[in-house]
A and B are shown apart, each in its own frame.
Chain A
Amino acid sequence: MAEFKKADSMLEWFDQRLGVVNFAKVMMTEYWIPKNINFLWAMGVLLTVLFTFLVVSGIFLLMYYKPDVNMAFDSVNYTIMQEVAYGWLFRHIHAVGASVVFLVIYIHMFTGIYYGSYKKGREMIWVSGMLLFMLFSAEGFSGYMLPWGQMSYWAAYVITEIFGGIPVIGDELVVWIRGNFYVSDSTLTRFFMLHVLLIPLAILGAIVFHFYALRFPHVNNEEGEFFDFDEEAEKYLAGNKKESKVVPFWPVFLSKDFFVLGFFMLFFFYLVFFHYDFAMDPVNFDKADGLKTPAHIYPEWYFLWSYEVLRGFFFEIAGVSGKDLGLMAFGFANAIFLVLPWLDRSPMVKPANQRPYFKYWFWFLMADLIVLTVYGKLPPTGANAWVGFASSMTFLVLFIALPFITKAEAKKVGGK
């Protein structure tokens, strides 16, 4: 065993045992972030804070929520919303937080795409991020079922039904997921388990992995510039702070993040207290009723684009039913972002607007996703169905064309 001398301070005592001084250096004061960044680089910290809000408010909700089809609805809408002191506040933070976390995830994700922060060594950051997106989607979907309102029930019904389209095992798979032939108590209880235990555990692991994946390739910057971090860090430590291209995570980077966070929280709490209907659908304040289908069934806003890709194919093409085509397109849409680093064949790491071809692709994608999202909510009748079909096709074509577009771009810029 190592020889321990008597510590002169509490800090030293902990440092002897846990190496806290070095740990703080590695994690905070000598963790280097590029200086050339804008507020979009604060989204990661915003997400960490929002996730913490969700965990804490979730723990409070967990104390009164009852995962039982006969009690769930009233435990949320009566016990939590009206009986428990500030129960409504925790539910509002949880519901609005769950919706806003996706807004920030999308901004974070498209920031990454815009600045090309997924390639040339940063592939694992991207992949782990997309893994988090999938886990958050599963978390959002499973949580949405818990209040056991009409939209909880019917969204669960429609989404679990999707798995029925998988060849051979589809029908059995649906029963296996639901734990019954229809969405029932067993479905509610298992989704409760997924929501409060299994998926949050996986998310925690994936967050750690995502942060870890950032350490070696380092954070990208506004110009996509590559430089030697060690060299720049030395400049900074030597006192040439203005000249150095990097800043330490604490306090410099975080001071900017706190500032962005402050104004973001203003927006967030405005939604929590005064404008929450978008995250707490009125239809879900009717208790689940398996015999009464709501006039319009739609998922939460953050799933609308992929939901629209699913239902965009509403007619048979070459002997394949619309349902099967939609399912294939849906699978494609959900998996394709994961492999984005390998679809972009251009070596350029630059903001999209400085890339001759990619910039068109990027803004086309944004426009298409907005169209998909809006039409994903509207009833799929008449012209709406065709807009849905066209925008779903556009989505597929955009991704199929991406390798060719970026290859051509690489040729044009000559490998720069």
Chain B
Amino acid sequence: MKEFKILAVIVALVGITYYGIEPYAHHIMHPEVSPADFSFKDLKNVDTKLAGNAANGKVLVEANCIACHAIDKAGYPAVMPNADAAASYGVVPPDLSSAGRIYDKNYLANFIFDPVTAMHLSGKYTPESGKAFPMPSYNWMTPQEIMDIVAFLQSVSPKVEGKEAHKATFEAACGRCHNMKYAGIEATTPKDNLKAYTGAVAPDLSQYIKSRGEHYLHSFINDPQLLLHGTSMPRVGLTEEAQEEVIAYMEETGDSKKAERESLGIWVLLYTFIFAILAYLWKRKIWSEVH
């Protein structure tokens, strides 16, 4: 009985200390931000209830988008090599093949209408800064036309699933700026262009699943400004599903042994438990002679 009392005192002291230096300290150092919003409710310029016409969208895309953007899966190759594109625009313009799949519909429509507002980068592209985002606003288009473009992009997006989707989404959503050394992925925009474009070389994401963790990434990717005010990383507008694919890919790359760790862990605990029980029985046998 006395030994249980001692154990309780130790558990209490260790527990209080642990609570203070882990959950409590984290709560103080990383205050909670508003939850991730995957419907991008703040964007209201385009009525997304309008049904888009993909055929009309194709005409609009050919007239307005493919001068800069590749849409490889729909038969529109890149106009120039990445290095030249980066030199011309500051950053390599995205291939729109998967845009209809990975970006939220409301976000995509409002992005076409006014990219800087959608990305939450108004703080960077102020009139005083003299900087302009390389893509113009298509706010002169009617909402119907914008929804036609969205419908077209959704119609050409190939279906991908599983690990293939994890990598494809990561490359499409993050790969123009970020390296992922441990997966052999290098940003399509050359380093020097990137530095001039964003002000700093975007970090390598190999270990971000460890250094930032899933919880942080979940909020951060959805809206970077909330957790890192003033960052030049845009809000990219991924659907919840696409964002989960990105995070899954970061985990496959940065914590590739997770499954092995968790399954082995169970066996080691079981082994240790059996050892502890046997040790207890042996101790009782030995001590029965001296007590």
Q: Which residues of A contact B (CB under 8 A)?
A: 35, 38-40, 74, 77-78, 81-82, 88-89, 92, 103, 107, 241-242, 244, 247, 251-252, 255-256, 258-259, 261-263, 265-266, 269-270, 272-274, 277-278, 282-286, 295-296, 301, 304, 366, 370, 373-374, 377-379
Within 8 A of A (CB), among B208-261: 210-213, 256-257, 260-261
Find out whether the CB atom of A286 lies under 8 angstroms from the CB atom of B286. Answer: no
Find out whether the CB atom of B273 lies under 8 angstroms from the CB atom of A266. Answer: yes
Name the B residues within 8 Å of A251 (CB-CB): 286
Given that A262-B279, A265-B272 are known contacts, is A274 also in contact with B265, CB under 8 Å in the complex? yes
Which of A81, A278, A285 lies in contact with B18, CB distance below 8 A?
Answer: A278
Find out whether the CB atom of A38 lies under 8 angstroms from the CB atom of B269. Answer: no
Find out whether the CB atom of A266 lies under 8 angstroms from the CB atom of B262. Answer: no
Name the A residues within 8 Å of B181 (CB-CB): 74
Verify if B2 is at the interface (C-beta below 8 Å from A). yes
Give the interface residue-count category, chain B. Answer: 35 or more
Find out whether the CB atom of B256 lies under 8 angstroms from the CB atom of A285. Answer: no
Nearest CB in chain B: distance from A94 CB, A: 15
Find out whether the CB atom of B279 lies under 8 angstroms from the CB atom of A247. Answer: no
Verify if B128 is at the interface (C-beta below 8 Å from A). no
Nearest CB in chain A: distance from B226 CB, A: 16
Find out whether the CB atom of A262 lies under 8 angstroms from the CB atom of B275. Answer: yes
Name the B residues within 8 Å of A266 (CB-CB): 269, 272-273, 276
The 7 closest A-B pairs by CB, nearest first: A262-B276, A273-B265, A374-B20, A285-B211, A285-B210, A259-B283, A255-B286
Q: Is chain A's interface secondary structure helix, strand, loop, or mixed overall?
A: helix
Which of B6, B213, B283 lies in contact with A255, CB distance below 8 A?
Answer: B283
Verify if B133 is at the interface (C-beta below 8 Å from A). no
Find out whether the CB atom of A269 lies under 8 angstroms from the CB atom of B269. Answer: yes
Find out whether the CB atom of B211 lies under 8 angstroms from the CB atom of A269. Answer: no
Find out whether the CB atom of B6 lies under 8 angstroms from the CB atom of A40. Answer: yes
Find out whether the CB atom of B279 lies under 8 angstroms from the CB atom of A252. Answer: no
Shortest Cβ distance from A268 into B: residue: B272
User: In the complex, A74→B7 CA distance in Å?
Assistant: 41
User: In the complex, A274→B262 CA distance in Å?
Assistant: 7
Name the B residues within 8 Å of A374 (CB-CB): 17, 20-21, 24-25
Find out whether the CB atom of A373 lies under 8 angstroms from the CB atom of B20. Answer: yes
Name the A residues within 8 Å of B261 (CB-CB): 88-89, 92, 273
User: In the complex, A255→B286 CA distance in Å?
Assistant: 7
Name the A residues within 8 Å of B272 (CB-CB): 262, 265-266, 269
6 additional A-B residue pairs with CB within 8 Å, beyond A272-B268, A277-B22: A40-B6, A242-B290, A262-B275, A273-B264, A284-B211, A286-B207
Verify if B161 is at the interface (C-beta below 8 Å from A). no
Find out whether the CB atom of A273 lies under 8 angstroms from the CB atom of B257. Answer: no
Q: Which of B8-16, B36-44, B59-67, B103-111 contacts A (4 or more CB under 8 A)?
A: B8-16
What are 23 A-B residue pairs whose CB atoms fall within 8 Å in the complex? Answer: A38-B2, A38-B3, A77-B182, A77-B206, A88-B260, A92-B261, A256-B283, A262-B275, A262-B278, A262-B279, A262-B280, A265-B275, A269-B265, A269-B268, A273-B261, A284-B211, A304-B21, A370-B13, A373-B17, A374-B17, A377-B25, A378-B25, A378-B29
Given that A88-B261, A266-B273, A286-B207 are known contacts, is A370 also in contact with B16, CB under 8 Å in the complex? yes
Given that A82-B256, A247-B290, A373-B21 are known contacts, is A282 also in contact with B212, CB under 8 Å in the complex? yes
Verify if B289 is at the interface (C-beta below 8 Å from A). yes
Name the B residues within 8 Å of A39 (CB-CB): 3, 6-7
Find out whether the CB atom of B291 lies under 8 angstroms from the CB atom of A242. Answer: yes
User: In the complex, A252→B211 CA distance in Å?
Assistant: 47
Nearest CB in chain B: distance from A295 CB, A: 7
Name the A residues within 8 Å of B3 (CB-CB): 38-39
Find out whether the CB atom of B21 lies under 8 angstroms from the CB atom of A38. Answer: no
Name the A residues within 8 Å of B289 (CB-CB): 241-242
Verify if B282 is at the interface (C-beta below 8 Å from A). yes
Nearest CB in chain B: distance from A165 CB, A: 26
Nearest CB in chain B: distance from A61 CB, A: 15
Verify if B28 is at the interface (C-beta below 8 Å from A). yes
Find out whether the CB atom of B21 lies under 8 angstroms from the CB atom of A301. Answer: yes
Verify if B140 is at the interface (C-beta below 8 Å from A). no
Find out whether the CB atom of A241 lies under 8 angstroms from the CB atom of B13. Answer: no
Nearest CB in chain A: distance from B278 CB, A: 8
Find out whether the CB atom of A103 lies under 8 angstroms from the CB atom of B14. Answer: yes
Name the B residues within 8 Å of A259 (CB-CB): 276, 279-280, 282-283
User: Taking each of B6, B279, B282, which has the highest tally of chain A beta carbons within 10 Å of its own beta carbon?
Assistant: B279
Find out whether the CB atom of B211 lies under 8 angstroms from the CB atom of A283. Answer: yes
User: In the complex, A252→B290 CA distance in Å?
Assistant: 8
- Per-position contact with A for B188-212: 1 when CB-CB < 8 Å, else 0? 0000000000000001001100111
Which of A35, A88, A366, A378 lies in contact with B28, CB distance below 8 A?
Answer: A378
Shortest Cβ distance from B5 into A: residue: A38
Shortest Cβ distance from B20 into A: residue: A374
User: In the complex, A155→B30 CA distance in Å?
Assistant: 20
Find out whether the CB atom of B291 lies under 8 angstroms from the CB atom of A88. Answer: no
Name the A residues within 8 Å of B20 (CB-CB): 370, 373-374, 377
User: In the complex, A138→B85 CA distance in Å?
Assistant: 53
User: In the complex, A74→B21 CA distance in Å?
Assistant: 28
Find out whether the CB atom of A377 lies under 8 angstroms from the CB atom of B283. Answer: no
Name the B residues within 8 Å of A265 (CB-CB): 272, 275-276
User: In the complex, A296→B207 CA distance in Å?
Assistant: 19
Which of A81, A107, A247, A379 lies in contact with B257, CB distance below 8 A?
Answer: A81
Find out whether the CB atom of B28 lies under 8 angstroms from the CB atom of A255. Answer: no
Nearest CB in chain B: distance from A167 CB, A: 33
